[in-house]
C-alpha cells in the first residue's frame, strides 16, 4: 500500500531502502513543539478567513494540544513509516478527531511547514544560547573583579611579553562573548520572518492572512517571496556561523586552561569537579573538560561546513537535500550549549596560583618596554633609539643571568650614562601594570571599573532591559 498521506499518485509502497534514506523522524521529532504551534496558528487563521469551519478549527486545536501533551509526556508512538514529524502529528490527529484533521493541511505544504518549524526551533535555541552566554560573561566578570590586581605574564607568540592582570585577561573573553551575543542577536533578527503560507513554492489561491499567523508565532512579518521562503536556509547558516565563532573563542580559552593547569606552567588549578584521573598514573589530574571543549569546536565548525556544501548548488525552490539541514545543526547547537556550560563552570571553579603567576610575569625581561618608555619620557629619547638602548641593557642582564630590576645602575649607565636611580621605579611588575591606565589597559583600576560595568550590564540584560551590548 502506498503512503496514505501522499499516495494518490502511487500504487505501490516504497522500497525498504527508499524508506530508510527518506525518513527523517529520528531527527525532526525534536521539532514537535514548533510543529504543533505552527499548526495551531494555521488552523486558527483558516477559521478566521472562513476557509475551514470554526468547529473543525476547534477540534484541530484541541487535538493538537492533546498530541503535544502525549509527546511531552513520552506517550506518543512515532512511526518511521510516516517519514517525519508533520505526518506523524497529522496521522495521530486523524485518529483523534477524524476527517476534520484532513482540513489542517489546506493551503499549506510540508515545504513551508518545515521551514517555519525549523526557524522557530533555531530562534528558541538562540534565546537559550543568549542566556547561557550571559551567565558565562557574569562568571568571567566576577572572577575578573576578584583578580583585578592579580599579576600574570601577558604573551605574544606564546613568549613572555608584558605583565598584565588575570582580571584583564579574563575580560578579553567577556568582550569576545559580547560579540558572540551580538552575532546571535543579528541572526535572530534576520530569521524572524514567517515562511508559513508560502505553500509548496508559489503561494496559494486561498485568501490567507499571513500576517496573522506570523504574529501568532512571534515573527515580525511574513517572508515576501514564496520561492525564497521555502528554500532559504540562510538562517541556519548564519546561526551556525555565529556558533562556530563562539566555539573558537571557547576553544582558545580552553587551550589556555590546558596550558595553565600543566604542572610545568602551574598558573591555575581546577578542582575534582572539572578534572579526571588516569587509569594507570595515580598522580594525574587531567583538564578533560577543557580538552573536550577544545575538541567540540570541530563538530560545530564541521556542521557549518556540511550545510554550506549541501546548499551551495541547489536551484530554487525546495529540494530534498534540505532534509540534511537539521541533524548537524542540532548536534552543533547542543555541543555549543554544553561547551558554554562547561566553560562557565570552569571559570567559577578555577583557582589562580598568584605567586607563580607573579613570578612568571617578571621573567623574560617583561618590563623592558617600561624601561624604553622611561627613556622616552624622562630623557626625551626617540623611541627607536630607546628600543635599541633597552635591547643592549637586556643583553647585559641576560649575560649576567639577572632580571632587569637586579641589574646594577652602573651597568645600565655603560649603555646610557643619563639613566638615574629612578629607573628602578618602573621595572617592577606591579608598577608596570599600574601604569597601563589608558582606556582598555590592564591597570587594576581599569579592570575593576570594566568588570563592575559588565556585571551591571549582564544583570540588566537578564532583567530584560537590554539585549547584547
How far apart, in whole angstroms, are the C-alpha atoms of residue 275 and residue 150? 24
Q: What are phi and psi of 266, to 5 degrees?
A: 70, 35
Contact between 200 and 227 (Cβ < 8 Å): no
Active site residue 278: yes
In angstroms, what CA-CA distances link 262 with 277, 347, 448?
14, 17, 28
Paired sense of beta strands 151-156 and 159-165, if any: antiparallel
d(CA 308, CA 327): 14
Query: Per DSSP, which regions of 96-255 are E strands?
Result: 151-156, 159-165, 193-194, 221-222
- Cα–Cα distance between 396 and 415 in angstroms, integer? 9
Distance CA 198, CA 180 (A): 32
Please say if 157 is a catalytic residue: yes
Euclidean distance between CA atoms 94 and 63, whole angstroms = 9
Q: Which of 157, 205, 279, 463 is catalytic?
A: 157
CB atoms inside a 10 Å sphere around CB 465? 9
Phi, psi at residue 250, to the nearest 5°? -65, -40
The one catalytic residue among 69, 278, 388, 459? 278
Q: What distance in Å separates the CA atoms of residue 89 and residue 23, rounded to the nearest whole number?
A: 15
Cβ neighbours of residue 370 under 8 Å, at least 6 residues apart? Answer: 162, 426, 427, 431, 432, 435
In the beta sheet, which residues pair with residue 157? none
Q: Measuring CA to CA, how many Å separate 178 from each of 14, 76, 154, 164, 467?
A: 50, 41, 22, 21, 10
Phi, psi (deg, nearest 5) at residue 403: -70, 160
Active site residues: 157, 278
Amino acid at each position: 500500500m502506498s503512503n496514505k498521506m501522499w499516495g494518490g499518485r502511487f500504487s505501490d509502497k516504497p522500497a525498504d531502502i527508499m524508506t530508510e534514506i527518506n525518513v527523517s523522524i529520528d531527527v525532526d521529532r525534536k521539532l514537535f513543539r514548533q510543529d504543533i504551534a505552527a499548526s495551531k496558528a494555521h488552523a486558527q487563521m483558516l477559521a478566521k478567513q472562513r476557509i475551514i469551519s470554526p468547529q473543525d478549527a476547534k477540534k484541530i486545536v484541541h487535538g493538537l494540544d492533546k498530541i503535544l501533551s502525549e509527546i511531552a509526556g513520552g506517550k506518543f508512538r512515532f512511526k518511521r513509516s510516516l517519514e517525519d514529524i508533520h505526518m506523524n502529528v497529522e496521522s495521530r490527529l486523524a485518529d483523534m478527531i477524524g476527517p476534520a484533521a484532513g482540513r489542517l493541511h489546506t493551503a499549506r505544504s510540508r515545504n513551508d511547514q518545515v521551514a517555519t518549524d525549523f526557524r522557530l526551533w533555531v530562534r528558541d535555541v538562540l534565546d537559550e544560547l543568549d542566556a547561557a552566554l550571559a551567565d558565562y560573561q557574569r562568571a568571567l566578570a566576577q572572577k575578573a573583579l576578584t583578580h583585578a590586581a592579580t599579576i600574570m605574564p601577558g604573551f605574544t607568540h606564546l613568549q613572555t611579553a608584558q605583565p598584565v592582570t588575570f582580571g584583564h585577561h579574563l575580560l578579553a573573553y567577556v568582550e569576545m562573548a559580547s560579540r558572540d551575543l551580538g552575532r546571535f542577536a543579528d541572526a535572530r533578527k534576520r530569521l524572524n520572518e514567517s515562511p508559513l503560507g508560502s505553500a509548496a513554492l508559489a503561494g496559494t489561491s486561498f485568501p490567507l492572512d499571513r500576517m496573522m499567523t506570523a504574529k501568532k508565532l512571534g515573527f515580525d512579518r511574513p517572508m515576501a517571496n514564496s520561492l525564497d521562503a521555502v528554500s532559504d536556509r540562510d538562517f541556519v547558516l548564519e546561526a551556525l556561523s555565529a556558533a562556530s565563532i563562539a566555539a573558537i573563542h571557547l576553544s582558545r580559552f580552553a587551550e589556555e586552561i590546558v596550558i595553565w593547569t600543566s604542572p610545568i606552567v602551574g598558573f591555575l588549578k581546577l578542582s575534582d569537579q572539572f578534572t579526571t584521573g588516569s587509569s594507570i598514573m595515580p598522580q594525574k589530574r587531567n583538564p578533560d573538560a577543557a580538552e573536550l571543549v577544545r575538541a567540540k569546536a570541530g563538530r560545530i565548525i564541521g556542521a557549518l561546513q556540511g550545510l554550506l556544501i549541501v546548499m551551495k548548488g541547489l536551484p530554487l525552490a525546495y529540494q530534498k537535500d534540505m532534509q540534511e539541514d537539521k541533524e548537524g545543526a542540532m548536534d552543533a547547537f547542543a555541543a555549543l550549549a554544553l561547551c558554554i556550560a562547561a566553560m562557565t563552570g570552569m571559570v567559577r571553579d578555577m583557582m589562580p596560583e598568584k605567586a607563580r603567576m607573579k613570578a612568571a610575569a617578571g621573567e623574560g625581561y617583561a618590563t623592558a618596554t617600561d624601561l624604553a618608555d622611561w627613556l622616552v619620557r624622562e630623557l626625551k629619547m626617540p623611541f627607536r633609539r630607546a628600543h635599541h638602548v633597552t635591547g643592549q641593557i637586556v643583553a647585559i642582564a641576560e649575560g649576567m643571568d639577572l632580571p632587569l630590576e637586579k641589574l646594577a645602575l652602573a651597568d645600565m649607565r655603560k649603555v646610557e650614562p643619563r639613566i638615574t636611580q629612578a629607573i628602578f621605579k618602573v621595572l617592577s611588575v606591579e608598577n608596570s601594570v599600574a601604569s597601563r591606565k589608558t582606556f582598555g589597559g590592564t591597570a587594576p583600576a581599569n579592570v575593576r571599573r570594566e568588570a563592575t560595568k559588565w556585571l551591571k550590564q549582564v544583570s540588566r540584560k537578564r532583567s530584560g532591559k537590554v539585549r547584547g551590548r
